[in-house]
Structure 1
Amino acid sequence: MYKMIAIDLDGTLFTDELTISPGTVAAVQKAIELGTVVTIATGRMFSSAKLVAQQLGIDAPLITYQGAMIKAVGEADALYERAVSPDIAKKLIHIAREKNIHLQVYQNDILYGAAETDKLIAYANAVQVPYAVEPDLMRLAQKGFTKLLFIDEPDVLDLLQKELQIIFGDSAYIEKSKKNYLEVTHPEANKGTALLFLANHLGIDRSEIIGIGDNHNDFELVKAAGFGIAMGNAVQEVKEIADYTSLTNNDEGVRHAIDAFILEPRKVAAAERGSEDHAQLGRKKL
């Protein structure tokens, strides 16, 4: 029996219209009722993931900011937190300015942009969080950032990702979460590392974990889980390392996975226990 399931949001739990089907909501809630630890593993900030957790009735600590922060709803302090250093943060701000690429940053669970651009507004509306405008991002960088996010055309970000990986090497985690999103976090901040940290904290073995994702930033999540599931719409790299490929995010892929690997096995086990109890009762009567 799997005791824990970690689910990505965008492209996984959410449809392309950023909704969660009633059937998927019901499946998640049923899994929780049966004792499964259900958590979210997302690149989104905590305040955005919190809204989804409350909708689904999830009370387990949430993996947010690509794994840079693990925090439970209602708790003041984070269980796990890794920040990008001030030095790297300042260099990234300089690069964004030099290349004229949109960059937004996260600090103390607040989304900041240097100006109120269309990209900042669209992002905030999509994930349902407020934002603050701070023209002097360098001042904020003195305390480091939980995450930095570049938004631009896919080909621009492809080139930028290669350049940043050469500049920073192993001192930063640099990965795409969407075609037009390039995220930078602490090198120990990825979904796989965070997943194993949380599982260990809860006393759950790696073999008892399911991880579900679709994009490049879910690679570590799917690989770290004892049973990794790629969505039908997942990028090829994630499908290649997954143990199973589900349906797409628009076809209730998460619901299908929960039904197949959590709910159905529990029904079978319950039925087998019932048969055994009945047999033992019969033997006692004899």
Structure 2
Amino acid sequence: MNTYKMLVLDLDGTLTNTQKEITPRTREVLIELQRKGVLLVLASGRPTYGIAPLADELQMDRFGGYILSYNGGEIIDWSNGTKLYENVLPDSVVPQLYAAAAEHQVTILTYDEQYIVTEHPDDPYVGKEAFLNKMEVRPCSNFLQEVRLPLPKCLIVGDADRLIGIEAELSLALQGEISVYRSEPYFLELVPMGIDKAQSLAVLLKEKGFSREEMVAVGDGYNDLSMIEFAGMGVAMANAQEPVKKAADYVTLSNEEEGVAAVVERFF
């Protein structure tokens, strides 16, 4: 049987239940796992400050865990806050993203430490992003003048049918410069090229001196596919998208049934 040294967890739909909470049992299991010397990594499309409360709840600062935020755009050693890796949007594309959002009458936002920055703080979809990440919204009067470049990512939010045209337009106009994809029907992600959980995990594995065969990765969404295929043991949640389940080596219980705790008990 393999001796796994690292556990990588997606958050929404994986580590957390539908209330966006870690259950007491899962918390205890993961703290005990770290106490035994296994490295815990939280890998999510969320910004760093949206992951931080969960990392602190799991005592990852104490045990030396890592955060992969922005879908792998940043790697942070949570024991000391050191940034091991960063991938950012080209400054030149930000005005194009802003202009496209304005033309289609939808909202663009970005992140500045613990804040979500936008000209439209009352947009209900901005509220969804703020709730998901437990972040404050900082209103601005002029997005292009007030955001601090470079940006890790932008998010355009709006009704799903409104995002169809802008997604196609930006995918074509910025092909080869950034990645454009929908994380939710109402969230259009605008991220640097090459953002990928598996690619960032390869950087972390090299830093720690581990092989991918020593890693277990657990997720439920399309953005988890690469790390599930890359890991020595790729695990899909029972609530995962069907292609994710097919790519996995093992399917655990759902996030409502503490599937992460079941993974730890089975493989560690």
- Which of the residues 182, 191, 196 maps onto 1:190? 196
5 Å matches for 1:131-146? 131-140=137-146, 143-146=149-152
- In structure 2, relative to structure 1, the CA distance for the partners of 1:74 and 1:206 (3 Å cut) is closer
More strand by share: 2
Query: Matched residue of 1:9: which SS?
Result: coil
Larger Rg: 1
More helix by share: 1
Partner of 1:266: none
What TM-score results when the alignment is normalised by the length of structure 2? 0.90
> How far, CA to CA, are the matches of 2:171 and 2:145 in structure 1?
25
Structure 2, unaligned runs of 5 or more? none
Question: Which moves more between the two structures, 239-248 or 168-177?
Answer: 168-177
Partner of 1:215: 221
> How far, CA to CA, are the matches of 2:107 and 2:58 in structure 1?
33
5 Å matches for 1:69-218? 69-73=74-78, 75-108=80-113, 110-117=115-122, 118-140=124-146, 143-157=149-163, 160-218=166-224
Residue identity matched to 1:91: Q
Deviation at 1:101, TM superposition (A): 2.0
What TM-score results when the alignment is normalised by the length of structure 1? 0.84
Aligned Cα root-mean-square deviation (Å)? 2.0
> How far, CA to CA, are the matches of 1:258 and 1:190 in structure 2?
24
Aligned residues: 262
Query: Matched residue of 2:180: which SS?
Result: strand
> How far, CA to CA, are the matches of 2:176 and 2:225 in structure 1?
17
- In structure 2, relative to structure 1, the CA distance for the partners of 1:162 and 1:204 (3 Å cut) is farther
Query: Matched residue of 2:261: which SS?
Result: helix
5 Å matches for 1:269-284? none
- In structure 2, relative to structure 1, the CA distance for the partners of 1:109 and 1:187 (3 Å cut) is farther
Q: Once the two structures are aligned, what percentage of the paired residues are identical? A: 25
- In structure 2, relative to structure 1, the CA distance for the partners of 1:227 and 1:167 (3 Å cut) is farther
Question: Which moves more between the two structures, 135-144 or 231-240?
Answer: 135-144
Residue identity matched to 1:36: V
Deviation at 1:122, TM superposition (A): 3.3
Give every structure 1 segment of 4 or more consecutive aligned residues whose post-TM-superposition deviation is greater than 6 Å.
none
CA contact (8 A) 1:193 1:224 kept: no
- Which of the residues 253, 261, 264 maps onto 1:247? 253
Question: Which moves more between the two structures, 180-189 or 158-167?
Answer: 158-167
> How far, CA to CA, are the matches of 1:229 and 1:155 in structure 2?
33
Residue identity matched to 1:85: P
